[in-house]
Amino acid sequence: MEIVLKEKIKEAVKIIYNSEATDNLIQIQETRKDFVGDFTLVVFPLLRFSKNTPEKTGELIGQYLVDNFNAVSGFNVIKGFLNLEISDRWWVSYLGKMASEISHFENSRVLNPETILVEYSSPNTNKPLHLGHIRNNLLGYSLYRILSACGNRVIKTNIVNDRGIHICKSMLAWQKFGNGETPESAGLKGDHLVGKYYVLFEKEYKIQIETLVREGMDEAEAKNSAPLMKEAREMLVKWEAGDKEVVDLWKRMNSWVYAGFDETYKKLGVDFDRIYYESNTYKLGKEIVLDALKKNILYRNGDSSIWADLTPNGLDQKLLIRSDGTTVYMTQDLGTAVDRFNEYKFDKSIYVVGNEQNYHFQVLKAILKRMGYSWADGLIHFSYGMVELPEGRMKSREGTIVDADDLINEMQETAREVSLELGKLSDLSEEEKEEVYRKIGLGALKYFILKVDPRKNMTFNPAESIDFNGNTGPFIQYTYARIKSVFRKAEQMGIDVQKVTLSSPKAGAKEIELIKLLRRFSESLSAAAAEYSPAIIANYCYDLSKEYNQFYHDYSILGDTDPETRNLRMVLSRVTGEIICAGMWLLGVEMPEKM
């Protein structure tokens, strides 16, 4: 409509003022809720043609549109703003257009699609996935779907941090205290078993530090001198040197972790197109660093460590290779970035990583640009806030993390309890019920996390997330199930919902408001892609569900005696259901047809 209005306003300027108005002078926006109208024209840029007051200019253009464009049914002028009212006939026609669309994503397609990499998850192989990983995975996967829906080529990537001192901690603790324990013998998922030994390392390491401090050593020195930490560092050196015993143990324990991760990813409903491993990319990163050293882009310190001096960029000096020849995270990220660009020639590479790593990604981009990689401008840190429980922050070293598997299972169990209380699934088989519980539980988890602005810290409250009322996933799922229930009743009446057409332009105020809200879906999708914010889609789905529920409460859908009104409400319900389903799909939420 904005495009058509723009052309008609240019026509009005031509006829009334015998002047040509360029596109940049025709500024149209949605009318503010506190004024009457649907679209507002900013009149001030057109005064150069009218040589008159804003009010008089707006009145002449508004009257021309009412007389010559049947989509405009009325107008009002408030100072320099012309508020245009769109006719009910046009809104009903627009609903008919939406009802005929194969995909509700088409109107959000970008003119120049890009190749975009989205990196999410990025787990360490020394512990299981936790609540923080859940937010990371859900944001990354939803971002992939949103950007893809807008027509971009999007590749889902994961970088597994499978090497380094933290991995050696778990390995060393298993060597010392494991007694050959395996996931099978322990009855634990592999990632849980390895995480158990990471916590054990930290526990024993802390005891050693306290002992050294009591013996007179200061804390910083004690941390470096503790026997466990020394052994872990020696193990890392051996690993990078290819020591067979260390590498074999590393492969064995990592295989346990990967099996555990895969199980969690499947439960969560996320996947990847390409998985990178730090154990591979750090080698390329090391080559890049050594090459840059030869070109004097980097410098070697007196202890043989290699650094980047980023003080001219307003940053600090960054260590890239330690004095013992081992590498740091940054070296791996350099190698991964170059490897990815060589493979995909991406326009953008989006890192879904928490905001505690803001500085890290500033440094990464600065080093790559200094090395001459112009494509580094396309690196984007999608910096999201931390997620906590009502009782506070989680600490993986202390074993106080909220395990992802436990949380997913807890959500499904809570969904079962709530659904049994409501008693609405009595006609389903036990297998069908379990599937509905799974969808409700995961829908509650995903929606509650994704409805929050990703850049903000958030508190995840499991009990609040699964409430069937309010701004929750189950409320939106229930709205969709309610629409499906209407359709099942229609089928029992012999009505084929898919074949119902609009036969009259008549519509009431409530129907028109709902159609206007449906129209905003494509705008919400475009905004979510531009701002990298699934929260925009989530809250749109809630607003639409809330509006439809009010409509459902106030009006009969199938019981209206006027066939034309009934048809309008059935088409309106069908399109509403399709758009709710499409919006929740973008969030990775499955929609049960019965609840």
Cβ neighbors of 147 (< 8 A, separation 6 or more) are: 116, 118, 154, 529
pLDDT per residue as tens digits for the range 329-366: 999 999 999 999 999 999 999 999 999 999 999 999 99
Q: What is the average pLDDT across 91-107?
A: 93
Fold of the CATH domain 2-86: Gyrase A; domain 2 (3.30.1360)
Q: Name the packing angle between helices 358-370 and 329-344 (round to 10°).
A: 60
| The predicted structure's pLDDT at residue 327 | 87
Calculate the dihedral angle through the C-alpha atoms of 6, 148, 369, 311, rounding to the nearest 10 degrees.
Answer: 90
Q: How confident is the model at residue 186 (pLDDT cuts 50, 70, 90)?
A: very high
Give the span between the Cα atoms of 529 and 110, in whole angstroms: 10
Percentage above 70 pLDDT, the chain: 98
CATH code of 404-586, in short, is 1.10.730.10
| Token representation of residue 53 | 């007051």
Domain boundaries, the chain: 2-86, 120-398, 404-586
Question: Any idea how long the chain is?
Answer: 595
With beta carbons less than 8 A apart as the criterion, state whether 446 and 465 touch: no
Burial track 364-380 (b if 16+ CB lie within 10 A, e otherwise):
bbbbbebbebebbebbb
Give the span between the Cα atoms of 291 and 299, in whole angstroms: 11
Give the span between the Cα atoms of 393 and 401, in whole angstroms: 8
pLDDT at residue 394 is higher than 50 = no
pLDDT at residue 397 is higher than 60 = no
Give the span between the Cα atoms of 406 and 130, in whole angstroms: 9
pLDDT at residue 396 is higher than 50 = no
* 314 or 2, higher pLDDT: 314
Architecture of domain 120-398 in CATH? 3-Layer(aba) Sandwich (3.40)
Q: Which residue type, as a one-letter code, is found at position 453?
A: D
The overall average pLDDT reported for the chain is 93
With beta carbons less than 8 A apart as the criterion, state whether 96 and 513 touch: no
With beta carbons less than 8 A apart as the criterion, state whether 215 and 207 touch: no
Cβ neighbors of 300 (< 8 A, separation 6 or more) are: 293, 306, 307
Percentage above 90 pLDDT, the chain: 84
- 120-398 and 404-586: same fold? no
Segment (H or E) for 54:
helix 54-68
| The predicted structure's pLDDT at residue 392 | 53
| The predicted structure's pLDDT at residue 400 | 52
Alpha helix positions (H), 452-587: 462-465, 473-492, 509-531, 534-554, 563-586
pLDDT at residue 503 is higher than 80 = no
Strand-strand pairing, 115-119 and 387-388: unpaired
Q: Considering the entire predicted model, what is its pTM?
A: 0.91
DSSP 273: S
| The predicted structure's pLDDT at residue 63 | 96
